[in-house]
């Protein structure tokens, strides 16, 4: 049975996350419906990362299996045709090699978070950025973010509903930079806890506006106490941008 690997992007605004849920729109449900529509058989779609409601992706990876052999370009184009007009697109399709699994074969994931940092609200990028009116010090945020690198107990930045077996995670990369009116935060790790990136981003924003110092952020991390987390950044600024295998 051939297994197909897809690179996809989507606007998460209309969906209640990636994972299928009864009675709720989801990216997984839309993909599975499109696959069945073109090949005539149901297929379970597996993803590299189960993004939350409202979270976007430019580099999500999924796989599925069907009985019939198709050319990868045919899979890409046919799935896209049956996804229209939904804001989901298959960018690349290929036949998976060996025992490839979109989730379990992944060795790294990369996210960015986009903040629009100006007084006027977004017009063209509604639901795609977090609008923060107060001036943010990107350098102070970047310097503080380096305190999060390495292996830590990330309980402070872990959602109460997180189902991970352990709060111990290794953050491999953290960068905060200003791009015009935007502050872009970028994080990379093998895996993340539920809402870890949004929790870290919200706490770094506290540093950016001057309410916290880098020492305050480090103290919150070391406390391993969810109550010490700053605000949790909203979903609309978060993007899964890359999965490494």
Q: Are strands 3-10 and 46-47 parallel, antiparallel or unpaired?
A: unpaired
Residue whose entry in the numeric block shows the structure tokens 């992706």: 57
Catalytic residue among 52, 67, 77, 225: 52
Active site residue 52: yes
Query: Cis (ω within 30 of 0) for the bond into 157?
Result: no
Q: How far apart are CA 114 and CA 185, in angstroms?
A: 7
36, 10, 5: which is closest to 127 by C-alpha?
10
Question: What 3-state class would DSSP assign to 30?
Answer: helix
Give the tokens for residue 210: 């001057």
- Catalytic center residues: 52
């Amino acid at each position: 049975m051939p297994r197909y690997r897809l690179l996809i992007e989507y606007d998460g605004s209309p969906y209640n996350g990636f994972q299928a849920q009864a009675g709720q729109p989801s990216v997984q449900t839309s993909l599975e419906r499109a696959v069945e529509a073109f090949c005539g058989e149901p297929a379970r779609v597996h993803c590299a990362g189960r993004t939350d409601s409202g979270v976007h992706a430019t580099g999500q990876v999924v796989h599925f299996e069907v009985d019939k052999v198709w050319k990868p370009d045919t899979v890409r184009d046919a799935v896209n045709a049956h996804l229209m007009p939904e804001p989901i697109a298959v960018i690349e399709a290929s036949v998976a090699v060996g025992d490839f699994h979109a989730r379990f074969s992944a060795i790294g994931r990369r996210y960015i978070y986009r903040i629009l940092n100006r007084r006027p609200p977004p017009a063209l990028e509604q639901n795609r950025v977090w609008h923060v009116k107060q001036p943010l010090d990107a350098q102070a945020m970047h310097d503080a973010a380096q305190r999060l690198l390495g292996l830590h107990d990330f309980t402070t930045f872990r959602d109460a509903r997180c189902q991970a077996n352990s709060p111990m995670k290794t953050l491999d990369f953290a960068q905060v930079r200003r791009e015009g009116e935007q502050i872009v935060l970028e994080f990379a790790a093998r895996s993340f806890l539920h809402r870890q990136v949004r929790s870290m981003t919200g706490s770094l924003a506290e540093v950016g506006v001057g309410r916290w110092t880098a020492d305050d952020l480090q103290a919150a991390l070391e406390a391993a106490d969810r109550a010490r987390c700053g605000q949790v950044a909203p979903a609309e600024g978060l993007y899964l941008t890359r999965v490494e295998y």
